[in-house]
Amino acid sequence: MKKTVKSHGLRQISLHNQRWLAAFILVAATLGAMTLWALRGKETTLHVASQFKTNDYPIGIVGTQDQGYALTATGQIFALRGWASQSEGVELGDNPTSFTLSTSGKYLLVAGQRLTLLDDALHQKWSRQTTAPSVVEQAVFTVTGGVAVVYSFLKDQSRQFVMYDLAGKYQGGYMVPDFGRGSQISLARSGTLVVTLESGTIYTVSPQGKVIAKFTVPNPGQKLAGLVTVVDDSGTRILAGYGRSISGTPGSLPRYLFDQTGKKITQISAPSDNPDLRALGSDFLTFGRTAEIFDKDGKQLLSASKLNFNAIDASMSDGECALLFQEQSTSQTAVYFLGIYDMKTRTLVHQWSMAESDEVRVFQLPGMRSALALGSGFSILTP
């Protein structure tokens, strides 16, 4: 036996070394692949750059490259210096519903029971409300450098459209009659107002109060319900569609893209589990089980989904689109996935995931920043 061992010793050592060498190469290759994957993962994973506490849920987060602003549901507004430190809050009260930054970055618009304009130092410049009880339904900075607002009166379903300059001076307006329960409006930055009736009739109205067009969203056999209409910033593109079938039977949902004169540009078909619509600047989003983005001509720019997740929120800034997905679960703590997509390359470039019991919203901001708003604060994420 010893001779046998000795006579095969060199061969056994050689085979032994070959096996170890092969194993070493396999491990090295695996580690190399893992390292490469980890580097790629590190490059695409967001990290928490700063965190802020608030006294209530943040309903709006806006900003420039150098500074941010946040507004809570109780009307507290504060500045984020360098996106790193928080200023003392200014109490507006008023039960605000929306928060907008002008394209110049010099003015902030807060809508609620009244309309308030502040400068970038959070000094209130003016505040406006109607004599009859009303709320601000929508308000925007216009492309002409003013402010457009729609007041909704509490006594009925009537509305008032008003234009102001940045000094708060009245520039014109008109009354929108009571179109009945279920009517909705969309206000474009051009000042164009889109009024949608529950019956499916749409009116487009110029800033001067002139009816541009009246047309109807098709509903063959009256089999669909839950009409939603959104308008792009220019006011020249309107996406309209019903969110469900009356029978509840799954199927495709038609979405119609019109121009402001009522001319149909194209028709988009969406699955019944994608019932929601939203305008993202000059583009449009349909979302639910998946998220799909279309341009002003109805061309699909992006389609994104995540297994066992639903798309619940989206935000666009500087050519980047943030899509927020929530896991389909009955647990009190939900898992959220945030994907940042480059709209030029149409690819996922950054991502983040978290488990949270609070409702989460996303705000995509200048400087490749993403803000995730939670129940009592928010986090700023960066690559």
- pLDDT digit string, tens, across residues 47-95: 999 999 998 999 999 999 999 999 999 999 999 999 999 998 899 988 8
Residue 2 scores a pLDDT above 70: no
Spell out the residues 6+ positions from residue 241 whose beta carbon is closer than 8 angstroms to its own: 217, 227, 228, 253, 254, 255, 256, 268, 270, 277, 286
Mean pLDDT of the 241-270 span:
93
What confidence score (pLDDT) does residue 6 get?
A: 32
Spell out the residues 6+ positions from residue 345 whose beta carbon is closer than 8 angstroms to its own: none
What confidence score (pLDDT) does residue 333 get?
A: 92
Spell out the residues 6+ positions from residue 72 whose beta carbon is closer than 8 angstroms to its own: 54, 55, 56, 57, 58, 59
Pairing of strands 300-304, 291-294: antiparallel
> DSSP letter at 272?
T
In angstroms, rounded to a whole number, what is the distance separating the alpha carbons of residues 105 and 47? 26
What confidence score (pLDDT) does residue 137 get?
A: 97
Per-residue pLDDT reduced to its tens digit, 6-36: 333 323 334 344 444 443 333 333 333 332 2
Q: How many CA within 13 A on the CB side of residue 138?
A: 18
Average per-residue pLDDT in the chain? 88
CB 376 within 8 A of CB 55: yes
- Mapping DSSP to helix (H, G, I), strand (E, B) and coil, where does residue 248 land? coil
Mean pLDDT of the 109-126 span:
97
CA distance to 99, 126, 144, 235, 301, per residue, from 188 (Å): 15, 22, 12, 5, 22
User: Predicted confidence band at 40 (pLDDT cuts at 50, 70, 90)?
Assistant: very low
Pairing of strands 193-196, 201-205: antiparallel
Mean pLDDT of the 158-173 span:
97
User: Predicted confidence band at 249 (pLDDT cuts at 50, 70, 90)?
Assistant: confident
Mean pLDDT of the 227-231 span:
96
Residue 371 scores a pLDDT above 70: yes
Q: Which helix (DSSP H) or strand (DSSP E) does residue 14 occupy?
A: helix 9-44
Type of residue numbered 78: F
Q: What percentage of residues in the chain have a pLDDT greater than 70?
A: 89
CB 188 within 8 A of CB 174: no
CA angle 65–69–75, rounded 5-degree value = 170
Burial class (CB in 10 A: 0-12, 13-18, 19+), 284: buried
Mean pLDDT of the 351-361 span:
93
Q: Whose CA is closest to 150, among 207, 224, 232?
A: 207
CA distance to 26, 27, 35, 38, 332, per residue, from 31 (Å): 9, 6, 6, 10, 38
- Taking every pair of Cα atoms in the chain, the longest distance, rounded to a whole number of angstroms, is 111
Per-residue pLDDT reduced to its tens digit, 118-131: 999 999 999 999 99
DSSP string, 51-83: EEE-SS-EEEEEE-SSEEEEEETTSEEEEEETT
Between residues 346 and 20, the one the model is more confident about: 346
Per-position b or e across 321-353, b if 16+ CB within 10 A of its CB: bbbbbbbeeeeeebbbbbbbbebeeeeeebbbe
Spell out the residues 6+ positions from residue 60 whose beta carbon is closer than 8 angstroms to its own: 70, 71, 96, 98, 99, 100, 363
Type of residue numbered 94: D
Two structure tokens written together for 88: 């003392």
Give the residue extent of every domain in the chain: 47-65+306-383
Residue 195 scores a pLDDT above 60: yes
CA angle 345–257–255, rounded 5-degree value = 90
